[in-house]
Structure 1
């Protein structure tokens, strides 16, 4: 194993750098000066420990290198994640970095604020923020590179504070965005195009131009969205139903521009210009053109982590071929990961980055072993078996991450990949042909109609696979610890395969036992859980949990028309709950656990009062918890001037405690002893 690691030298750089990035993210408050003191002490201690005659310079050098890259990863991450200071008030001038996209009844665009005018002076700033624009005709005319002016100060991005919700603040902060602003019509003005050249704006304009070619040749609807995602990496306006179909069938990877797409583009390029590499004097030109083509495609498609990884790996391999130095694939993977994280350490926490590298590792390591299990001599059979083994290999190493991020597993992924992988090659080829033949409208229009027809067929096939019985396993809540144990199982399995030593197999089996035992104990623990949650939503949404049974109490309109699935689902997945019983506020309900009568909820001995409409409240039988609207101040003593939408009031021994869900996040109340608060607050 040590000899093998010596053949992957960049792994010895990557691992301490990754450790430094994780350390900085876990302990960001640790001063850099302390790190500067601790690392030399660790090095000195190591030197003392290895002062025996067997001590070698390589060990001291290795320790020094490890500590250096550990420190580099730590400092780079701290610098990258340093939040901006107070934002200056005034008249803000911002450049749109992308065309605004409709999101939940408003348009969203990432913008770069460059100037702030205040008191007849201009202050130069450089901060990216999110701008939300209310729907209007003026918004439709905006595009990347346009400047807008507004006076409203951006606000800090905040999470809602609901349990187990997606940490959007941290997610967007790792992209360097910490503030946002919402602008109504009339509160902003168009200020012309930004005269400063910006590479990202240029890439966005190029992509918008190419998307326009698709539209002018008759592509629209689902067909346009799928082809735009496959060829240009554009998914901002993709319908959620399309995403769900691809995810449920295990075909979502083709929608993310990655090695498959980069490889197809390179194959086409090599077919057209491969004659250059056959001439010694032209090889350098071929290399330069290849690199420009690869990275040009990467920039146009949005520079996602997967396409960055693919373009960089192709660049390294091509450079190695030019220098006649064949690259070790694992060394190439380690080098590409290190270079990408050296530019942006936060890529380590990007799901696309993790899935991309995990999939490639699985294909490189496990696919040859799986392919060798069945020696097929005929070409069609060998190709089909290759598709199956590639799909299986990538699923082996991405399963822990898929379980952690998406909590689902597509059972028929191997069938869908029979369809989507050949189709992806065909669609990328057709997409390029449509763009190339666009000056001849008849030819481009014909190709667009062919592409639309084929996309409909493929999509219909995926919909059919999704409807197969048991096509998707949902609801298993992989925690971070479970995903880590799953990766350890894979690691020890790989060690056993390489060394044939039984102790590694024993470690892998121990991991399997630990994973199952942890899941069993967690289910037992959650089956005894009793809790009430009042979510931070636009109107009251009460979630009552009794073991795996649960109830959601909200207005009838909310339950029927705009159910807050994104708020409730994380809790349901975490506690492994059954489908909830939906109870409208306007109706009564009764079973063995819950009684709802009028504005009262009797839940396992707790008394909850629900009063969203501001009606007078006669507290002759005071509830332990009162869910009320801040605007209704005629029932009891509420905080003067409160601006919260809804809050929970907890009565304890005659005292009034107020919890504002808008300011403090969701209200959670564990029920520990049956009827305890009911007895205390009953008259």
Structure 2
């Protein structure tokens, strides 16, 4: 299954403690740990060397396990130290360590236009104070609202104000943690710029190889646009062949995601393998020469890595490039290397370069998928035997899809909260179209413009993409095409992996204890899901959400919810901040109302600006309220201030008797500060939502 003996996969065994060390380092990555860790590493290394030099004197052969323990501890500490060293905030020269009037930054990624903003990351190379430049390090996320900025490219140096700010954490429950995502890329600060706030200082100062590759990619994207007419076809071709994703529409992404074929839109090992197969076929004549294999390897390996650079050095492409390079070298010198060892070697190389790659979802899914193919595919393939060679070949493809989907399901469900039901059909269908797209696209881009031939290749490329998009969109809209709202805890997805290991190991080894263990783990998993669902169905709550420029309150009553917000359910902010919370709460029945609508339901009534939800009530104060005093005080639990009203809190207190003031994010900073000052003076409880987490109140 994996290997007959662990000696066949030594690199895999050694990789495990290193991975554990990087995992520990990600959670404990402060610079204060570096010195004691370095001392510990040096001490263990000296001890290991002494034991090897005086092997017989200390009779180490009687304690063979000692050397293994020391090696594993050294690798664990090495992984931990690598993460700390990789953390840019631990550097004394990080730009955030000292204030700056202006910054000089160098663009280190290709700028992309999205939602009217030009976004890119940049290396801060100097802080400027009083016209004195001090060299610095660190990465800054920059967004520019200026149409002229579309001309900026990789390697350009800019002079910008030193008015950066920390990345915001997620403010609402179940919201995507963009702050954590960027932190794993060593990005901790961001800056928004408008016309006139930046100046181009110098161009083309980046790595010349990367600059040339990105320039070539832009030229190739433009060439695709010359003869392809459909925007979606151009976007898919650019993504699938060149790794350029800026033009992909949300509809296309959703179709591929819900059918379990999203991996096609990420240039990965399969794409690199197609390039390798094409080059190997073209250069096969070199095998007749004495040093033909070596010459072929010298040609293919640089081309593979140039393609990896051209497509943006994604983790999946880097993994494939390292693996294929290792395989080519092994075949050149007639060496056999276990596939799992090759996989582990590529992981070691990439993690030594950047240990934070382990946090990348693409990295995790890519390595899991390949490991699943190596380990599980033979087990799945052995389930059925077919004498017909064509049916057998079809079953091989099915076993590959099943193995990859099974091994990646817990992790993809943990991250993306859905499962594509028809993944087998979708993945079988795209095999031929993907190959046609890759080969026709490559020949179209590499060959010079030849009348009729270039037009035929472009026509074949576009029609194949449109056919693939059409079929996947059809599959997406089939009944029960995907199971959504899957929200797993870390414990639950680890239990799923333990169940998968036990079940497949049992099918391979037929040991009864594996089946019993798998059944016990499945019982624990089911129990955890059941308890979580029971708690959700028996919990009622009010969630005052932080939607920045928008208002939003969610009233959850078991598996039903009423949302009061000025957002439509098709708005991207609704899908980003509100829908994940509803899905994580297992809400199946959602009603959305505008703030000015009247509501009458079994558990909530709203009339004018007063809301009664079960045993709790809310009074809404907005910019439509006037500065008057009522003869009757309205008793309420929460006073919800929204829309930037201009009424003093002293007047509000004459009309309302409440327990807590909720100040939402639609109010201006000036209004919020005014209300907070008055609340403190009057000793009133208050909650400010702006730049703070949402406030959830139980109501059982």
TM-score above 0.5, yes or no: yes
Please state if 1:659 is matched with 2:665.
no
* Aligned with residue 280 of structure 2, among 270, 273, 297: 270
Partner in structure 2 of residue 380 of structure 1: 390
User: Given that residues 569 and 575 in structure 2 are in contact (C-alpha distance below 8 angstroms), is that contact kept between their aligned partners in structure 1?
Assistant: no
Q: What's the offset of the Cα at 1:97?
A: 3.0
* Aligned with residue 74 of structure 2, among 57, 68, 79: 68
Partner in structure 2 of residue 450 of structure 1: 460
* Aligned with residue 138 of structure 2, among 119, 123, 127: 127
Q: Which moved more, 1:662-671 or 1:246-255?
A: 662-671
Within 2, Cα distance between the matches of 1:571 and 1:593?
A: 20
Distance 1:562 1:78, change over 3 A: closer
Within 2, Cα distance between the matches of 1:671 and 1:41?
A: 56
Q: What's the offset of the Cα at 1:323?
A: 2.4
Q: What's the offset of the Cα at 1:569?
A: 2.3
Q: What's the offset of the Cα at 1:116?
A: 3.8
Q: What's the offset of the Cα at 1:165?
A: 1.6
Q: What's the offset of the Cα at 1:228?
A: 0.9
Partner in structure 1 of residue 54 of structure 2: none
Partner in structure 2 of residue 335 of structure 1: 345
Please state if 1:668 is matched with 2:681.
no
User: Given that residues 539 and 646 in structure 1 are in contact (C-alpha distance below 8 angstroms), is that contact kept between their aligned partners in structure 2?
Assistant: no
Within 1, Cα distance between the matches of 2:58 and 2:136?
A: 57
Partner SS, residue 143 of structure 1: coil
Partner in structure 2 of residue 624 of structure 1: 637
> Which whole-Å deviations, capped at 9, do the CAs of 1:5-57 have from their partners, x for residues lacking one?
2211012221111111111223335724554677879999xx9xxx9999734
> Which whole-Å deviations, capped at 9, do the CAs of 1:70-99 have from their partners, x for residues lacking one?
000111111212424435423333333344
Distance 1:560 1:476, change over 3 A: closer
User: Given that residues 254 and 421 in structure 1 are in contact (C-alpha distance below 8 angstroms), is that contact kept between their aligned partners in structure 2?
Assistant: no
Within 2, Cα distance between the matches of 1:126 and 1:440?
A: 48
Within 2, Cα distance between the matches of 1:43 and 1:485?
A: 39
Within 1, Cα distance between the matches of 2:473 and 2:698?
A: 42
Please state if 1:8 is matched with 2:9.
yes
Partner SS, residue 649 of structure 2: coil
Within 2, Cα distance between the matches of 1:355 and 1:427?
A: 24
Partner SS, residue 580 of structure 1: strand
Within 2, Cα distance between the matches of 1:644 and 1:283?
A: 74
Matches for 1:73-472 after TM superposition, within 5 Å = 73-83=79-89, 84=94, 85-86=96-97, 88-136=99-147, 138-440=148-450, 442-472=452-482
Q: Which moved more, 1:51-60 or 1:520-529?
A: 51-60
Within 2, Cα distance between the matches of 1:187 and 1:52?
A: 69
Partner SS, residue 178 of structure 1: strand
Q: What's the offset of the Cα at 1:267?
A: 0.7
> Which whole-Å deviations, capped at 9, do the CAs of 1:551-603 have from their partners, x for residues lacking one?
11112x65576661110122123221114211211111112211111111111
Let me know the Cα RMSD of the aligned residues. 3.1
Partner SS, residue 92 of structure 1: strand
Q: Which moved more, 1:106-115 or 1:523-532?
A: 106-115
Partner in structure 2 of residue 20 of structure 1: 21
TM-score (ref. length: structure 1): 0.90
Within 2, Cα distance between the matches of 1:464 and 1:3?
A: 45
Within 2, Cα distance between the matches of 1:256 and 1:200?
A: 19
Within 2, Cα distance between the matches of 1:611 and 1:199?
A: 59
TM-score (ref. length: structure 2): 0.88
Within 2, Cα distance between the matches of 1:633 and 1:261?
A: 60
User: Given that residues 541 and 698 in structure 2 are in contact (C-alpha distance below 8 angstroms), is that contact kept between their aligned partners in structure 1?
Assistant: yes
Distance 1:335 1:442, change over 3 A: same
Q: Which moved more, 1:344-353 or 1:278-287?
A: 278-287
Partner in structure 1 of residue 560 of structure 2: 549
Q: What's the offset of the Cα at 1:613?
A: 2.4
Within 2, Cα distance between the matches of 1:411 and 1:236?
A: 28
Q: Which moved more, 1:210-219 or 1:289-298?
A: 210-219
Within 2, Cα distance between the matches of 1:197 and 1:478?
A: 42
User: Given that residues 3 and 9 in structure 2 are in contact (C-alpha distance below 8 angstroms), is that contact kept between their aligned partners in structure 1?
Assistant: no
User: Given that residues 609 and 626 in structure 1 are in contact (C-alpha distance below 8 angstroms), is that contact kept between their aligned partners in structure 2?
Assistant: yes
> Which whole-Å deviations, capped at 9, do the CAs of 1:531-554 have from their partners, x for residues lacking one?
211221112111111221111111
Distance 1:36 1:147, change over 3 A: closer
Partner SS, residue 173 of structure 2: coil
Unaligned runs of 5+ in 1: 673-683
User: Given that residues 271 and 438 in structure 2 are in contact (C-alpha distance below 8 angstroms), is that contact kept between their aligned partners in structure 1?
Assistant: yes
> Which whole-Å deviations, capped at 9, do the CAs of 1:389-431 have from their partners, x for residues lacking one?
1111111101101110111111111111122111111101011
Please state if 1:594 is matched with 2:622.
no
Within 1, Cα distance between the matches of 2:122 and 2:211?
A: 10
Q: What's the offset of the Cα at 1:380?
A: 3.0
Q: What's the offset of the Cα at 1:644?
A: 7.0
Within 1, Cα distance between the matches of 2:301 and 2:231?
A: 34
Partner in structure 1 of residue 33 of structure 2: 31
Within 1, Cα distance between the matches of 2:267 and 2:245?
A: 10
User: Given that residues 213 and 438 in structure 1 are in contact (C-alpha distance below 8 angstroms), is that contact kept between their aligned partners in structure 2?
Assistant: no
Within 1, Cα distance between the matches of 2:153 and 2:401?
A: 39
> Which whole-Å deviations, capped at 9, do the CAs of 1:255-302 have from their partners, x for residues lacking one?
111111111111110111122234231222211212111111111111
User: Given that residues 648 and 659 in structure 1 are in contact (C-alpha distance below 8 angstroms), is that contact kept between their aligned partners in structure 2?
Assistant: no
User: Given that residues 154 and 206 in structure 2 are in contact (C-alpha distance below 8 angstroms), is that contact kept between their aligned partners in structure 1?
Assistant: no
Within 1, Cα distance between the matches of 2:675 and 2:486?
A: 31
User: Given that residues 20 and 76 in structure 2 are in contact (C-alpha distance below 8 angstroms), is that contact kept between their aligned partners in structure 1?
Assistant: yes
Within 2, Cα distance between the matches of 1:222 and 1:645?
A: 45
> Which whole-Å deviations, capped at 9, do the CAs of 1:191-249 have from their partners, x for residues lacking one?
34134544433332221122122122335500011111111111123111101000111
> Which whole-Å deviations, capped at 9, do the CAs of 1:521-540 have from their partners, x for residues lacking one?
11111112122112211121
User: Given that residues 162 and 536 in structure 1 are in contact (C-alpha distance below 8 angstroms), is that contact kept between their aligned partners in structure 2?
Assistant: yes
User: Given that residues 25 and 84 in structure 2 are in contact (C-alpha distance below 8 angstroms), is that contact kept between their aligned partners in structure 1?
Assistant: yes
Distance 1:237 1:293, change over 3 A: same
Q: Which moved more, 1:662-671 or 1:615-624?
A: 615-624
Within 2, Cα distance between the matches of 1:661 and 1:434?
A: 54
Partner SS, residue 31 of structure 1: helix
Partner SS, residue 159 of structure 1: coil
Within 2, Cα distance between the matches of 1:579 and 1:70?
A: 48
User: Given that residues 83 and 355 in structure 2 are in contact (C-alpha distance below 8 angstroms), is that contact kept between their aligned partners in structure 1?
Assistant: yes
Partner SS, residue 546 of structure 2: coil
Partner SS, residue 634 of structure 2: coil
Displaced runs of 4+ in structure 1, greater than 6 A?
37-44, 51-55, 638-641, 644-652
User: Given that residues 647 and 661 in structure 1 are in contact (C-alpha distance below 8 angstroms), is that contact kept between their aligned partners in structure 2?
Assistant: no
Within 2, Cα distance between the matches of 1:166 and 1:561?
A: 16
